[in-house]
Chains A and B, each alone.
Chain A
Amino acid sequence: MMNDYDVVVIGAGNGGLTAALSLAKNGCKVLLLEQHNIPGGCATSFIRGRFEFEVALHQLSGLGTESQPGPLRDTFRRLGVLDKLDFVEQENLFRIVLPGKLDITLRACRDDIVRVLKDRFPAESSGIDRFFNLMYLFSTQMIFGVYSRDPEISKTKYPEFFEYAAQDLQAVMDKYLSDPLLKLSIGNYWSYLGLPFNKLSFLDYAIMLFSYIELKPFHIKGSSQALSSALLDAFLKAGGDVRFNCKARKIVVKDKQVQGVVTADGFEISTRHVVSNASTLTTYLEMIDIGDLPESIIQSFSSRTIGLSACGLYLGFDCEPQDMGVTESTNFIYMSDDLDRMFRLGRTLEKPEMVMFSCFDVEDPSFSPTGAAQGALMATSYAEPWLSVPPNQYAETKYEYTQNLLDMLDLIYPDCREHIEEAEVSTPLTHMRYLGHPGGAIYGLDQYVKDTNLFVSPHSAIKGLFFAGAWANSGGFQVTLASGESAARYVLKSLNQ
């Protein structure tokens, strides 16, 4: 049988792009379908006035420096886009502020972090050392034992890994640390995963913090759109075809084998391989006829919950960051240290108690026009409360909600408000609209301790159907970019059979 394409990739988010590019580079005939008019999914930008706003990327993990490359740098090199991109290394992990109680800045350097924490929490000096020792030991064991697939992996060879891999972050921190503000400082990146310490896997957290420290956080010149556009350009140069404004409506399946794809405008494409960058749930629920679905497949999602989204305020300022006293790229502002409460508030429209504020111009003055700066003010939040807002009250509700975020920014950078030249709001519904994902989830499904990659095996319910992106395993730039390459490997294996 003649196929129009070897592979059809649905969605040009990070995972879809790297899958498509990887396959095209390996000589496959690939068609990439994207419902939006631009590649990137979350990894995109939009323009208001004289500003091009970064949508998603705050801190790129996993890249590493030229002398100490991380896995993401290798991925970019293999895909041929490394020399098309300019990266900006961020000196600090973050500044964390709880007004009146805590205000410290942590550099991306272990010794420095430990020193700053000990200065601020002198009574916990030894606990801090022991926690960081454990975190480093654990992460290294994870890298050698699991990532490098050590065939001799065992409890005796990697004792810390086997002891802590199924623990939550709270339990591990409680063992070594006592001041809640110290825990907050170390666990601050919880919001990148969206779960409070007692629900968050120590494994996920340790690896994330470890790699931000060791491989440094980065930003991309020209925003994450520069990355998506470079990936797409390389894909076109490798002979790939792309269609924008073209939603995949249906995956045709017969006898549990992919046969083709139908687009929303009724175009039929025959192929035996599909990589879906759409959410796993959407792919199964909306794109495949019920009769063609293996019975247990929807059931197998029962134990999972739809992950978090975000509410954001994108701000263009008519002055440079210093003029407003902004000296760090990444800032976390808290109103309390009660994470469980914050997590609950994320399911309401009440005033949130944590907000993050990124200002890329601090380390890359070319990010915004000369004499101007942009900031992204962001609270993590779930879609639920937004679903019950009547459509005609949506606009008012979103402005009210984001005023709360600005109020928090006011507390540490009081001059920001009067310098606003542009402001655009995003809510979980915005992400839902542009990505098509349930809940507007930006990291896929929630990742509780039981849901870490270690315990969840990838789906493969239908022959020829593969997944890439946040819903395939977990979210974030590093993971989703890698997921496309790995989906491509599976497809190639199947094509060669």
Chain B
Amino acid sequence: MAKIDYRKDIQGYEQLRGEIEILNKYGTDYESHRGSVTRVIDRLHPTRLQLKVSEIKKETGTTKTIRFISSGRRLPPFQAGQYINLFVKIGDVRTSRPYSLSSAPHQTGFYDITVRKVESGFVSSYLLDELQVGDELESTAPAGYFYHNPIFHGKDLVFLAGGSGITPLMSMIREVTDRGLNLNIHLIYGSRNYEDIIYYDEIEERAARHSQFRVTHVISEPPSDYTGCCGFISADLLRDVLGDVSDKTFYLCGPDAMYRFCRQELSNLCIPKKKIRNEMFGPPADITSDQYWPTQINPRTTFKVTVHNGKTFPAVAGETLMASLERAGLSVPSSCRSGECSLCRTKLLSGTVFHPRSVKLRKSDIKYGYIHPCVAYPLEDLLIII
């Protein structure tokens, strides 16, 4: 501003000053707005949820449904198909795992997750074998993009599920049938054998009661007298049970092997990519089977990882950097643990890591050396900032 206040010579200036004076007296009282932003945001996206186990139900020999109620504020809403990241402390290790909510969003009083035991699985074993009714856990608020988007998914949905991949889809099935939404669902559910089918009775019952919902079970290791669909979810099978496949949106959720197989089959059916929605399901079980993995690196090689201004710890090439961090008692924020949400975004100062192609790194993150430790595998000694 110039020394002398020239502004009073501006035509209309005095009038504006007058207006400001009046409004200063009679305008908005912002004192009453204290806390309002946090209140609004916490209703939809609180940073942490305090959960308490209210019920544990056995689903199959290897699967249980765990029901959580809130021991804090009201549970936030979610879109059927979303997941929470559940924090656990097992021994000295603090870690977390994402689990899709299998209950329907209109059941606002609780969240269900359904966990299948993974062979020597660290967290799944804990949840299935140790967790008791009444235990308290923390989680993130629901997140993720695997849900029905009415803007472009249309009304005819085909769900391709494998094993525990049924969980997010079950939430959608429950919502659509309970609320009678104007959508048609055909679930094609691959399981190893009959006993492995999660929610079998409920699925059958819903299919019988609601014409908008149909189901086809596909059994990969059928007993000799089995007459239903067997093998894998192939193009032929899809054509047989669906008839016209155009204009349908496909939702895929299941183990790695199933994704690879089903994607190929869908492409044989000429289904455009935009009609195929995939849920991620954590880091690959065996990273060395990734087609781009540098074969000269032995996955058991141990490298040294140093945190800038912090400690140094060992990390095995075949394990995610996030797991090594957690074993060392360190942590970075996480939600999807699949390379998608970017919450764990970390700066790499030196060294190289391997990321599977599915990682979602921004262009500028690649340029400036950021990595997603949840799906980053060390290929050298590393220096990182956390």
Task: Judge if A413 is at the interface, Cβ distance under 8 Å.
Answer: no
B77 touches A403 (CB 8 A): no
Residue of chain A at shortest CB distance from B28: A302
Residues of B within 8 A of A244 (CB): 345
Q: What is the bound-complex CA distance between A422 and B360, given in angstroms? A: 15
Give which listed residue, A281, A395, A454, contacts B7 with CB less than 8 A.
A454
Residues of A within 8 A of B122 (CB): none
Cβ distance B15 to chain A, nearest Cβ, rounded Å:
8
Residues of B within 8 A of A37 (CB): 333, 342-345
Which residues of A from 309 to 327 have beta carbons under 8 Å from B? 313, 318
Q: What is the bound-complex CA distance between A46 and B340, given in angstroms? A: 10
B44 touches A302 (CB 8 A): no
Residue of chain B at shortest CB distance from A392: B77
Q: What is the bound-complex CA distance between A455 and B6, given in angstroms? A: 11
Q: How many A-B residue pairs have CB under 8 A?
A: 165
Residues of B within 8 A of A370 (CB): none
Cβ distance B82 to chain A, nearest Cβ, rounded Å:
10
Q: What is the bound-complex CA distance between A55 and B100, given in angstroms? A: 27
Give which listed residue, A48, A399, A436, contacts B37 with CB less than 8 A.
A436
Residues of A within 8 A of B17 (CB): 455
B25 touches A222 (CB 8 A): no
Task: Judge if B24 is at the interface, Cβ distance under 8 Å.
Answer: yes
Give which listed residue, B26, B44, B108, B273, contacts A429 with CB less than 8 A.
B44
B27 touches A302 (CB 8 A): yes
Task: Judge if A303 is at the interface, Cβ distance under 8 Å.
Answer: yes
Task: Judge if B91 is at the interface, Cβ distance under 8 Å.
Answer: no
- Contacts A155-B9, A421-B274, A423-B149 given; does A433 touch B45 at CB 8 Å: yes
Q: What is the bound-complex CA distance between A81 and B79, given in angstroms? A: 41
Q: What is the bound-complex CA distance between A45 and B367, given in angstroms? A: 14
Cβ distance B216 to chain A, nearest Cβ, rounded Å:
27
Task: Judge if A129 is at the interface, Cβ distance under 8 Å.
Answer: no
Residues of B within 8 A of A232 (CB): 368
Give which listed residue, A233, A281, A450, contacts B30 with CB less than 8 A.
A281
Task: Judge if B255 is at the interface, Cβ distance under 8 Å.
Answer: no
A394 touches B362 (CB 8 A): no
B20 touches A303 (CB 8 A): yes
A285 touches B33 (CB 8 A): yes
- Contacts A285-B30, A303-B27 given; does A153 touch B6 at CB 8 Å: yes
A205-231 CB contact bits vs B (8 Å, 1 = yes)? Answer: 000000000000000001101101110
Q: What is the bound-complex CA distance between A432 and B33, given in angstroms? A: 14
Most buried by B among A167, A233, A303, A406: A303
Residues of B within 8 A of A163 (CB): 11
- Contacts A153-B2, A299-B24 given; does A162 touch B37 at CB 8 Å: no
A272-289 CB contact bits vs B (8 Å, 1 = yes)? Answer: 000000000110011000
Cβ distance A49 to chain B, nearest Cβ, rounded Å:
8
Q: What is the bound-complex CA distance between A223 and B364, given in angstroms? A: 9
Chain A contact residue count (CB 8 A cutoff):
72
A438 touches B36 (CB 8 A): yes
- Contacts A302-B30, A318-B274 given; does A432 touch B362 at CB 8 Å: no
Residue of chain B at shortest CB distance from A149: B2
Residues of B within 8 A of A402 (CB): 151
A455 touches B16 (CB 8 A): yes
A450 touches B16 (CB 8 A): yes
Task: Judge if A3 is at the interface, Cβ distance under 8 Å.
Answer: no
Q: What is the bound-complex CA distance between A247 and B361, given in angstroms? A: 23
A47 touches B342 (CB 8 A): yes
Residues of A within 8 A of B15 (CB): 166
A385-404 CB contact bits vs B (8 Å, 1 = yes)? Answer: 00100011011000100110
- Contacts A38-B342, A162-B10, A305-B28 given; does A391 touch B367 at CB 8 Å: no
Chain B contact residue count (CB 8 A cutoff):
63
B363 touches A226 (CB 8 A): yes
A392 touches B364 (CB 8 A): no
Residues of A within 8 A of B367 (CB): 222, 226, 229
Residues of B within 8 A of A417 (CB): 152
B256-281 CB contact bits vs A (8 Å, 1 = yes)? Answer: 00000000000000001110000000
Task: Judge if A151 is at the interface, Cβ distance under 8 Å.
Answer: yes
Task: Judge if A304 is at the interface, Cβ distance under 8 Å.
Answer: yes
B27 touches A151 (CB 8 A): no
B151 touches A423 (CB 8 A): yes
Task: Judge if B201 is at the interface, Cβ distance under 8 Å.
Answer: no
Give which listed residue, A230, A313, A387, A422, contacts B364 with CB less than 8 A.
A230
A154 touches B9 (CB 8 A): yes
A395 touches B24 (CB 8 A): no
Cβ distance B244 to chain A, nearest Cβ, rounded Å:
17
Task: Judge if A67 is at the interface, Cβ distance under 8 Å.
Answer: no
Q: What is the bound-complex CA distance between A305 and B23, given in angstroms? A: 11
Residues of B within 8 A of A423 (CB): 149, 151-152
Task: Judge if A143 is at the interface, Cβ distance under 8 Å.
Answer: no
Cβ distance B14 to chain A, nearest Cβ, rounded Å:
9
Residues of B within 8 A of A162 (CB): 9-11
A165 touches B273 (CB 8 A): no
Q: What is the bound-complex CA distance between A423 and B249, given in angstroms? A: 14
Cβ distance A482 to chain B, nearest Cβ, rounded Å:
16
A303 touches B2 (CB 8 A): no
Residues of B within 8 A of A429 (CB): 40-41, 44
Most buried by A among B6, B19, B333, B361: B6
Residues of A within 8 A of B1 (CB): 457
B131-153 CB contact bits vs A (8 Å, 1 = yes)? Answer: 00000000000000100011110
B272 touches A318 (CB 8 A): yes
Task: Judge if A460 is at the interface, Cβ distance under 8 Å.
Answer: no
Cβ distance A145 to chain B, nearest Cβ, rounded Å:
8
- Contacts A421-B273, A429-B40, A438-B33 given; does A167 touch B45 at CB 8 Å: no
A298 touches B7 (CB 8 A): no
Residues of A within 8 A of B41 (CB): 429, 432-433
Residues of A within 8 A of B150 (CB): 399, 403
Cβ distance A394 to chain B, nearest Cβ, rounded Å:
6
Residues of A within 8 A of B76 (CB): 391
Cβ distance A425 to chain B, nearest Cβ, rounded Å:
8
Residue of chain A at shortest CB distance from B38: A286
- Contacts A154-B6, A233-B368, A303-B20 given; does A399 touch B345 at CB 8 Å: no
B274 touches A222 (CB 8 A): no
Residue of chain B at shortest CB distance from A203: B10
- Contacts A391-B76, A423-B149 given; does A303 touch B24 at CB 8 Å: yes
Residue of chain A at shortest CB distance from B342: A37
B44 touches A394 (CB 8 A): yes
Which residues of A from 33 to 50 have beta carbons under 8 Å from B? 37-38, 45-48
A301 touches B34 (CB 8 A): no
Can you name 14 A-B residue pairings with CB atoms under 8 Å?
A47-B342, A162-B11, A164-B11, A166-B11, A226-B363, A298-B29, A302-B29, A303-B27, A394-B77, A421-B273, A424-B145, A429-B40, A455-B16, A457-B1
By Cβ-Cβ distance, the 3 closest A-B pairs, closest first, are A303-B23, A302-B27, A421-B274
B interface residue numbers (CB < 8 A to A): 1-3, 6-7, 9-13, 15-17, 19-20, 23-31, 33-38, 40-41, 43-45, 76-77, 79, 105-106, 108, 145, 149-152, 272-274, 333, 340, 342-345, 360-365, 367-368
With contacts A47-B362, A151-B2, A455-B17 known, what are 5 further pairs, Cβ within 8 A?
A149-B2, A155-B9, A225-B362, A450-B16, A450-B19
